[in-house]
Structure 1
C-alpha cells in the first residue's frame, strides 16, 4: 500500500509570522475542549538504567526506583483526577524500560499493532503488551519490520505521523497503514537525541502539533509545514528536557515540568499546561508520553 506523502517547501528553523497567525493573535487564543481518554500504563517497579540504548541513558548515574514510582504515581493520579480511564499493564522483572508503555504498540479504532523492538533488551515487552491487548478485546497484529509503537506512531485526527531513522524501520509504515486503514505520513529523524518521534513532536489536538525542527530532515520539516502551517516550534532548551514528550486531552497538556517556555507557548494557544516532574524516568530517556499508551477509539 502506498504511504501518504505531502510535498512542500522546507521550513525555516525560525517560524515566520503569517497573516493567519497574526489574525489569531488579534482574536485571542482558541477555546479548547478536553475529551475523555483511555490510557494504559506500566508501573516502574523494576525501573533502572542497566544498559544504554539512547543518548540520555548513563549506567553510571544512580537511579532512585522508589522516587521513580512516586513520580509515576503522580502522573497516574493526575490522569484519573481529570476523568481519564487508566488501565495497568503488569510490569515484568528484567524489563526495566517497560515503564515506557507508549512503545508497546499502537491501538486505534479497535485495531492493535504490537511493537517489534529494535534492541534485544526490550524485546520481551512485546509479548507482555500483546497479552494485555488480547485480554482487553484487541487482536494483536505484528509487523515484519521494526516498529516501536507510539514512540514513533502518533495519531493526529485521522492520520498517523510516523517517525523513522533510529528505531522504527521505514518499511513498517506501509504495514501500519495496511493494518489500521489510516494514511501514514513518514517523517525522518536525524538527531539521535530525539530517537523517537514522541521526543521531537507533540500532538496537542486533532489539528494542532508542536515540534522541534532540527530533529527532522529537511523533507520531513517540509511535510510538517505543509500539513500544520500553524504548528508551535519549540526551542532547543525545551526540547533538550524532552519538553515535547507530552500527553494532551485536547485542553489539558501534561508535560515535563521544566519545559517552561513551551508551557507558555501552549497556554497562549489556549491549552492548559500541567507540569509533571518525572526526573528519574528522564534518566532512561523518557517522560510523560513515553509512560502513556493511548487507546484511540
Structure 2
C-alpha cells in the first residue's frame, strides 16, 4: 500500500549544541551533503510509490529536519509534540500549523512531554510507547486518550538510543488476519520491556549492537521495502531472509545530529 510521509528539508541543518550522545558541535558538518542525503531519501520514497509532503524549514531550528518528532497521526487524529529540550520546543507550533493548514481537524497539542514518533510506534493494532530519556511516561496515557488506541509502555535504558525509533521499527503492520512484525535491539530496553516485546512479538527480527550503532533500527518499512542506512548490512540480510527488500540510503551527515531515515520521516495514517 502506498504510504503518506511528511518531511522537512535540512536547509538550516547544523550541530550547534548537544542534546544526545551523537551530537558534537566540534565535529564539522556539511549542510550541502546533508541536503543531498535528505533529497535522496525523499526521492527514494517517491520511487517506491509513496506520497511525500514537505514542511517549510525555519531558521534557528536546525533539528526541524527530524520531522518524526513533531506529530503522531493515527486514523486521521493528530497528537502533536511537546519537546523535552528547549532547543527544539518551537518546532511543535510550526508542525501544528502545517496540520491545520492541510485540513486536519482533530489536532491535539499535548499537556505532557512527548516527542511523537520518536517514541510512539504504531503497529496496526497498538501503539508502542517509549520512555526513559525524552517522553514522559504520563504522555503514554495521554496518547491513548487522544488517539483512542491501546498503548504498551517500553523503557529505554541506553542513552545512545534515547528514542524508541532508534531501537525498534515495524516491518509490517498488523491486519485482521496477521500480527505485526517488528525488528528491535534488545540492549536498548529494560529487562521487563525485553520480556514484553518477546511475548508480544515472538517472531521479531532481533538486531545486534552493530545493527543499532549505525542507526539500522531507525528504518522505514512499507511492508515490503525496508529503507535503512547503507552500513546496516547485517540487519539487511536478516530482514531479507524474512522476505523484505532492503533499500539502502546514506544518512551519515544527518547521523551526526542523532538521526536516520525514520527520524526524517513522519507518517500520516488516515
For 2:102 and 2:144, the matched residues in 1 are separated by: 22
Matching of residues 182-221 of structure 1 within 5 Å: 182-206=149-173, 207-221=180-194
1:51-81 C-alpha deviation (Å, 9 max, x unpaired): 0000000010000000000010000111111
Is residue 103 of structure 1 aligned with residue 76 of structure 2?
no
For 2:31 and 2:62, the matched residues in 1 are separated by: 10
Which consecutive residues of structure 1, in runs of 5 or more, have no partner in the other structure? Answer: 1-34
TM-score for both structures, normalised by structure 1: 0.88
Is residue 156 of structure 1 aligned with residue 129 of structure 2?
no
Alignment length (residue pairs): 263
Q: Residue 219 of structure 2 corresponds to which residue in structure 1?
A: 246
Is residue 147 of structure 1 aligned with residue 147 of structure 2?
no
CA displacement at 1:254 relative to structure 2? 0.4
Q: Which has the higher contact order (CA 8 A, sep 6+)?
A: 1
1:73-118 C-alpha deviation (Å, 9 max, x unpaired): 0001111111100000000000000000000110110100110000
CA displacement at 1:135 relative to structure 2? 1.0
Q: Residue 59 of structure 1 corresponds to which residue in structure 2?
A: 25
Which consecutive residues of structure 2, in runs of 5 or more, have no partner in the other structure? Answer: 174-179
Q: Residue 21 of structure 1 corresponds to which residue in structure 2?
A: none
For 1:290 and 1:125, the matched residues in 2 are separated by: 14
Is residue 226 of structure 1 aligned with residue 199 of structure 2?
yes
Is residue 296 of structure 1 aligned with residue 269 of structure 2?
yes
Question: Equivalent of 1:84, from 40, 47, 50?
Answer: 50
For 2:58 and 2:14, the matched residues in 1 are separated by: 13
For 1:70 and 1:127, the matched residues in 2 are separated by: 27
Matching of residues 2-151 of structure 1 within 5 Å: 35-138=1-104, 139-151=106-118
Q: Work out which of the two has the higher radius of gyration on C-alpha atoms and give 1 or 2.
A: 1
Counterpart of 1:279 in 2: which secondary structure?
coil
Runs ≥4 residues deviating over 4 A? none
TM-score for both structures, normalised by structure 2: 0.97
For 1:172 and 1:71, the matched residues in 2 are separated by: 33
For 1:284 and 1:154, the matched residues in 2 are separated by: 21
